Structure 1
Amino acid sequence: MSTRKASEGEEPRIESRDQLIAPMAKGEKPKAQWRIGTEHEKLVYKTSDYHAPSYGEPGGIRDILMAMREFGWEPVEEAGPDGSVNAIAMSGSDGTISLEPAGQLELSGAPLETLHQTCAETGRHLMQVKQVGEACEVGFLGLGMWPDKTRAELPVMPKQRYAIMMRHMPRVGSLGLDMMLRTCTIQVNLDYSSETDMVKKFRTGLALQPLATALFANSPFTEGKPNGFLSYRSHIWSDTDPQRTGMLPFVFEDGFGYERYVDYMLDVPMYFVYRDGTYIDAAGQSFRDFMRGELPALPGELPTASDWWDHLSTAFPEVRLKSFLEMRGADGGPWNRICALPAFWVGLLYDQGALDAAWALVEHWSMEEREALRNAVPAQGLAAAIPGGRTLRDLAREVLDIAHQGLVARAALNSMGDNESGFLSPLREIVESGKVPAQLLLDKYHGEWGGDISRVYEESF
């Protein structure tokens, strides 16, 4: 989740729909300026006994953040509920290191030109956190969900917005607190050149998001036992908050564009409003009322552009639009798979021939078929059926071929003269074996681990 930084000066108030559309329209960029942003989260544990460290304990999350100053990162601070000032993120040339609700550590990487740069950024970050981890006696897990922790065993970070969200989540779904406290993801942020280009990328990304979920499925355990899913993280989203999640059927309807997405976001209930360093609880209230100066939390006030940007960050569909498109379907994973997710999406969406070919594979699917696939994948992975009597594994071969061709066409070479297509190799291996990462973990659990879930700490980062 994004980390809010205070704005400077007085902002103009939003009084028209054009101002709501503006962030999306301003995201349009010529192809030469398209960039790749990669976000990846990891679970943090103490090596002595595998507990999840709290914010303030010795060698805990605060100490980890502050130790990152050695590598040039600078703290982003926020007032806590008790009046203390806490570092809640770190800012640097490689983007932002931020905290998820239970201390999951996230790198929101810088916007980069090539996947070679993305992988170098990822390598730098993981080298840094490993070095800091050794000093703080912590390790990191690359999984989609805590394999053994109950909610009660997990700490909560001192970020104001999380307190509001945690109060609200149980009102709208049974698994929202699991989403906040127990899950990790990899995410890719991508650009578009026009509204038409955005629409095609959004539709293709939504239709193929279940395939990304399957390829990266990596959360088969809950509280020390198999949970019956390959991506329990993905299943969690099905009962988090139906008003701000899902496959967004309207995206596939005629006339979809910026205005229709604005209408969707106006119907998504709010979480909060940020004023003078404080998050004001507006959970369940309407941004439409805010536009009329009738928000119960701030009667008489009109929203600013920052309020709208904050609100755009509080919807969690499988693909999200802000001033770029966010691909949100993948479980967290170890280093050797992090770079594969941006390779998958860049290969499909950043070359016109690849985008056309990928959309042609899925454009004839009905909304019911898309929803059925999304609902089947968390448990079935690549074995899930797709329209036409085939499996997702069959489709994966075709899609990876298209992504490969798209990366070759980009001709983004490293110093050795290699293009970016090699970053797809981990996904090729998964498809050829027919086993997604979660299935390999289950094989070990039932085999060499002898049902001892603690063995996962030795092998998953």
Structure 2
Amino acid sequence: MARDTSDTTPIESRRELVAWFEQGIKTDGILLLGTEHEKFPFYTADHSPVPYAGRNGHGGIMALLEGMQAVTGWETIVDGDALIGLFDPDGGGAISLEPGGQFELSGAPLENVHQTRDELSAHLAHARTVAERHGIAFLGLGMSPLWSLAQTPVMPKSRYKIMTAYMPKVGTRGLDMMYRTSTVQVNLDFTSEADMVKKLRVSLALQPLTTALFANSPFTEGHLNGRLSERSEIWRDTDNNRAGMLPFAFEEGFGFEQYVHYALQVPMYFVKRGDVYHDVAGADFRDLMEGRLQALPGERAMVSDWANHLSTIFPEVRLKRYLEMRGADMGSSQHILAMAGFYAGLLYDQGALDAAWDLVRLWSADERQKLRDDVPRLGLDARINNHTLRDIGREALKLARAGLTRRARHDTDGRDETQYIDLLDERVATGRTAAQDLIHKFNGEWKQSVEPVFDHARL
């Protein structure tokens, strides 16, 4: 997340929480997409992680942000005295830090994947130029392949301090999730409540396929971890009150009201007042609405509290004023664009969306959950209803390709957006994920060392 919201409008009823989501409905029919990606900075000299203040005379994360600010002219985001991010005041995106120093671009809402490509290209060019001055490069994997938790830096962000204290109370892998994983996600619009429901259901059902197609985290602390997506496995025991496959979203009558009901049951992390983050971890948002929070007696909920609370809920697909696809490991630039292309084709063409719903609508909650549980280890070989995810992937990619063809968004060379999912067609054709390619190299030419991955997966 780039920065926390600061809307001080009071919330006086549950209906206003529902209305907050309704304001995301795109009544003009103009559907945009945004991508977010995280990457691990490392020192090229020894493949060590990059602390906030730097090390041994080399600049660190703060220096990267200062350099990017000089290049982009974006405005700064601070937490106390610490520079923790940048944002474009004209709505062109933001740069933020994840807890372990993962460097994130939250892209602007754009009209097509060609624009996403241009945005990504410009961002990486700027980031490389700035990073090279400090002997730093960026790694595109779903989990840091070498560093222990103890070796991983800690960023000076107040909300992360609160989360770090709370995570071990609710799961065994929360700190791994915060400090040692990186993801790429694509965010998409909806045109009505019914459109949101169908898109959420389709994308939830297909997040295990997303995890398989983009699996790219087979290493932990220098060794194979036994999975293709350790990042996805970590989420299985991070905090199950705020993560998972949302089975209630498939129940009759689901809509904004039911998602509000769910979100109100998720414990809070913090309340932000001015520049201060108040630790209320485990508290109930409904108590804040009624002015009953023990940590902040008499303080009542504002719109910013609701938006910030929703940003601390982590299901496989997250509803805000748009839908966030959260099932993919981080990877190469090609990988990032494939994620955007796949979901633009599948969800932004009505024919593709309807056919995708037909593909998944008979799956039960137990079947969807088993698929999600199996996929970190089995990838495209995971099965549902006697079909492998490789089989499902072939069908879903046909639908996405047809959807992108009908969208007919062309670049300056006259090519449509189907070019971006060629990578995924290759993966289902061969049955091999990026993670399996890494495992093959590790056991072969890399002679069971992860050190070469810092060059192989360098962005």
Q: 1:203 aligns with which of 194, 201, 204?
A: 201
Q: How does 1:315-334 map to 2 (within 5 A)?
A: 315-334=313-332
Q: Is the 8 A contact 2:427 2:433 kept in 1?
A: yes
CA contact (8 A) 2:77 2:87 kept: no
The runs of at least 4 aligned residues of structure 1 exceeding 6 Å deviation read: none
Q: Is the 8 A contact 2:349 2:403 kept in 1?
A: yes
Aligned to 2:63: 63
Query: Which residue identity does 2:222 align to in structure 1?
Result: G
Whether the aligned pair in 2 keeps the contact of 1:348 and 1:354 (CA below 8 Å) is yes
The equivalent position to 1:396 in structure 2, one of 393, 406, 410, is: 393
Equivalent residues in 2 for 1:322-361 (5 A)?
322-361=320-359
TM-score after normalising by structure 2: 0.97
Partner SS, residue 29 of structure 2: helix
Q: Which amino acid aligns with 1:404?
A: R
| Deviation (angstroms), 1:5 | 5.4
- Distance in 1 (CA, whole Å) between partners of 2:423 and 2:111 is 22
Cα shift at 1:78: 2.5
Separation in structure 2 between the aligned mates of residue 67 and residue 76 of structure 1, nearest angstrom = 12
Q: CA deviation at 1:97?
A: 0.7
**Is it true that 1:212 corresponds to 2:210 in the alignment?**
yes
Q: Is 1:25–2:6 an aligned residue pair? A: no
**Pair 1:86-2:82 in alignment:** yes
Cα deviation, 1:347-368, whole Å, max 9, x if unaligned, reads: 1000000000001000000100
Query: 2:5–2:307: 8 Å Cα contact kept in structure 1?
Result: no
Q: Residue type matched to 2:41 in 1?
A: V
How far off its partner does 1:170 sit?
Answer: 0.3
8 Å CA contact retained: 2:61, 2:101? yes
Report what 2:129 is aligned to: 131
The CA deviation string for residues 401-430 of structure 1, in whole angstroms up to 9 with x for no partner, is 000000011111111211111110111111
Partner residue of 2:444 out of 441, 447, 454: 447
Q: Helix, strand or coil: the match of 1:43?
A: strand
2:304 equivalent in structure 1: 306
Aligned-pair CA distance for 1:130: 1.0
The one of 113, 116, 131 equivalent to 2:114 is 116
Correspondence for 2:39: 42
Structure 1 residue identity aligned to 2:278: I
> Residue in 1 aligned with 2:257?
259
1:143 matched residue in structure 2: 141
- Cα distance in 2 for partners of 1:69, 1:395 equals 44
- Quote the RMSD (CA, aligned, Å): 1.1
Deviation at 1:276, TM superposition (A): 1.5
Determine the C-alpha separation between the residues in 1 that align with 2:77 and 2:336: 28
Aligned-pair CA distance for 1:288: 1.1
**What amino acid maps onto 1:412 in structure 2?**
R
2:268 to 244, 247, 270: 270
Q: Aligned partners of 1:323 and 1:296: how far apart in 2?
A: 30
Describe the superposition over 1:300-330 as per-residue Cα deviations: whole angstroms up to 9, x where unpaired.
Answer: 1210000000001010000000111000000
Count matched residues.
453
Unaligned runs of 5+ in 1: none
Name the amino acid aligned to 1:72.
T
In the other structure, the counterpart of 1:282 is 280
Aligned to 2:183: 185
| C-alpha distance in structure 2 between counterparts of 1:215 and 1:12, whole Å | 42
CA displacement, residues 96-141 of structure 1 (integer Å, 9 cap, x when unaligned): 0100001000000000001100111011111111111111110110
- Work out whether residues 25 and 323 of structure 1, in 8 Å CA contact, stay in contact via their aligned partners in 2: yes
**Does the 8 A contact of 1:2 with 1:313 survive in 2?**
no
Instruction: Report if the CA contact (8 A) 2:334-2:420 is conserved.
Output: no
The AA in structure 2 aligned to 1:411 is: A
Partners in 2 of 1:297 and 1:435 — Cα distance?
51
Structure 1 distance, partners of 2:287, 2:29, is 40
Distance 2:296 2:341 in 1: 44
Distance 1:4 1:221 in 2: 32
Q: State the match for 1:419 in structure 2.
A: 416
- How far has the Cα of 1:74 moved from its partner? 2.6
Contact 2:145 2:217 in 1 (8 A): yes
Give me the identity figure in percent: 52
Q: 1:5 to 1:61 in 2, by over 3 A?
A: farther
Name the SS of the counterpart of 1:32 in structure 2: coil
Q: CA deviation at 1:75?
A: 4.2
Structure 2 distance, partners of 1:174, 1:333, is: 25
CA separation in 2, counterparts of 1:303 and 1:65? 32
Q: CA deviation at 1:69?
A: 2.4
- 31 and 12 in structure 1: CA distance in 2 versus 1, 3 angstrom threshold: closer
Contact in 2 for aligned 1:73/1:90 (Cα 8 Å): no
Matches of 2:292 and 2:49, distance apart in 1? 42
What is the Cα deviation at residue 31 of structure 1?
5.9
Q: Deviations over 1:165-191 (max 9, x none)?
A: 000000000000000000000001100
Gaps of 5+ in 2: none
Report whether the alignment pairs 1:4 with 2:4: yes
